[in-house]
Amino acid sequence: MNTDTAHEIVVLGAGYTGLIATARLARYTRRLNTHITVVNPSPRFTERLRLHQVAAGQKLADFRIPDLLAGTGVEFHRAAATAIDTAGRTVTLDDGAVLHYDRLVYALGSTTDTSSVPGAADHAWTLDNPALAHHFAQRLPEIAAAGGTVTVCGGGLTGIEAAAEIAEAHPGLTVNLISAAEPGTMMGEKARAYLNRALDRLGVVRTLGVKVTKVLPDAVRLDTGEVVASDLTLWTTGVRVSPLAATAGIATDAKGLIITDATLRSISHPEIHAVGDAARVRQAWGQLHGTCQSGVVTADYTAAAIARLRRGKVVKPLRFGYFHQPVSLGRKDAVIQFTHADDTPNRWYLRGRAAVIYKEQVSSSPTVAAKASRYVKIPVQLSKGGRATRKAV
């Protein structure tokens, strides 16, 4: 391919959304004069859906981004973006390279926000990358042997999965899950009851209806004034995004999310497409929140949209509805809450061994879909939301 005249597409970030966007772009534009570069700081693909397993001491498969994209013609550039020049349409990288783009796919995702509570950044661990999760896991055997305590702050899906995984892998530990709300509050009554029975079986202690106001080296302080001893603290609540977009003058909301139109293009710079956690995406029923489920759908949609624009075709607005809330409860148990388009629970749920198999397929699907995209299109969207998404935003 003559890259001097090719339409240059740069994808920033190769997490779930960036990887799917890149793989699908390669497939959808393979007959067009297009050159795709994906930029990521590490060649290893991070399975964030499984980092709670790493934190419990398990070893994951070593997926390499260049291998997953082999044969697609995509160029992988190992670096991190430090600046975007929207006027010149260039991205500056931390290795000194400057990439020109005709279209930019912004897929930088999010990280855990440890800035809102004093001491969290200094004394709490996060599940933001495999190295952190691995180092966290290395501390557990010694603490378990001494009958110590691990505190998981945050009762969302990540906190639940981490607490269950750690408790199952290290029964000598006391695992304390601290949350302002009941774990599984987003689920229906039956699924939530099953989840709590599983946490009881695993011995996970719950401290509910409180907030952590400070993280200490060996404890956490609650808004009640109580200080709870903690040999190791895992922070799983709150997210933040890179300031790169806002610094570049791209229209963002108060949280730094790129504000998009109905086709996921920046409202201020339409040559920039935002996907996943870094995008503010609205549907008729409300705003998408950061999950792999919605992220991979926005990635696939954006890849198809760019291909249609390259062919001079009209792009229809995104229609998306949430379908499920899959939660692993250790390696031998899980619960799946099926949902309405707006992610509120419907009457159906799955539990036990069937849910374990279901959750494993969900966790494996992004890498399978990316690798197979050069041959076939594996669907990543389970629901368009039905009537809930037919109205205009």
Q: What is the pLDDT along the chain (393 residues), one digit of tens a residue?
A: 444 689 999 999 999 999 999 999 999 999 999 999 999 999 999 999 999 999 999 999 999 999 999 999 999 999 999 999 999 999 999 999 999 999 999 999 999 999 999 999 999 999 999 999 999 999 999 999 999 999 999 999 999 999 999 999 999 999 999 999 999 999 999 999 999 999 999 999 999 999 999 999 999 999 999 999 999 999 999 999 999 999 999 999 999 999 999 999 999 999 999 999 999 999 999 999 988 999 999 999 999 999 999 999 999 999 999 999 999 999 999 999 999 999 999 999 999 999 999 999 999 999 999 988 888 888 888 888 888 887 766
Does residue 153 share a domain with residue 175?
Answer: yes
Specify if 368 maps to a domain: no
Does residue 224 share a domain with residue 246?
Answer: no
Specify if 204 maps to a domain: yes
Q: Which amino acid is at 9?
A: I
Does residue 165 share a domain with residue 135?
Answer: yes
Specify if 355 maps to a domain: no
Domain range for residue 159? 120-235
Specify if 162 maps to a domain: yes
- CA dist 386 and 24 (Å) reads 24
Specify if 139 maps to a domain: yes
CATH of the domain at 182: 3.50.50.60
Chosen domain end from 275, 304, 320: 320
Does residue 247 share a domain with residue 104?
Answer: yes
Chosen domain end from 209, 235, 261: 235
DSSP 8-state code for residue 343: S
Chosen domain end from 193, 212, 235: 235
Task: For residue 143, give every residue at least 6 positions away whose Cβ sits within 8 Å of its Cβ, in sequence order, or none.
Answer: 149, 150, 173, 231, 232
Does residue 213 share a domain with residue 246?
Answer: no
- CA dist 356 and 362 (Å) reads 10
Does residue 231 share a domain with residue 132?
Answer: yes
Place of tokens 């996060």: 126
Q: How many domains does the chain have?
A: 2
Q: What is the pTM of this model?
A: 0.95
